Structure formats: C-alpha cells, structure tokens
C-alpha cells in the first residue's frame, strides 16, 4: 500500500476517513508519530502533496551520469 494521498480528495470526508483508517491499520506507528509530534491530518496531507509535487518536478528535470 502506498501512503501517498495523490488519489484522495481532501474535500471528500469519506475518502479522507477511509485513507486514514487504512494508515492506522497498516502503519500504526505513523499515526502514533503524528500524535506525538502533534501533526494534524491536514498538515500530513499538505506535506505529502508538497513533497510529491517537488519530487515530480525534480525527477523530471534530473539527469544521472555515470
């Protein structure tokens, strides 16, 4: 299972609930870390989406040379 929320509509409460229920079931340590660090679900989603956008941009413009 991917933890990426790229297919989760942040305005769809049912999708969000299902996504975080899967995270809690499959990755309970992630949810516990979010609680300890006081990270909200909204902050988590915004961070992942920003990272996904940055990764998509940087990988499309990166060249590897050996």
pLDDT band at 48 (very low <50, low <70, confident <90, very high): confident
Residues 19 and 10 sit within 8 Å (Cβ to Cβ): no
| CA 54 – CA 33 distance, rounded (Å) | 23
Q: What is the 3-state secondary structure (H, E, C) of 19-66?
A: HHHHHHHHCHHHHHHHHHCCCCHHHHHHHHHHHHHHHHHHHHCCCCCC
Mean pLDDT, residues 22-46 taken together: 92
Who wins on pLDDT, 6 or 49? Answer: 49
Who wins on pLDDT, 37 or 9? Answer: 37
């Amino acid at each position: 299972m991917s933890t990426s929320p790229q297919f989760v509509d942040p305005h769809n409460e049912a999708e969000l609930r299902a996504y975080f229920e899967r995270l809690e079931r499959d990755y309970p340590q992630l949810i516990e870390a979010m609680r300890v660090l006081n990270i909200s679900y909204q902050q988590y989603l915004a961070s992942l989406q920003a990272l996904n956008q940055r990764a998509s941009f940087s990988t499309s413009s990166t060249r590897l040379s050996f």
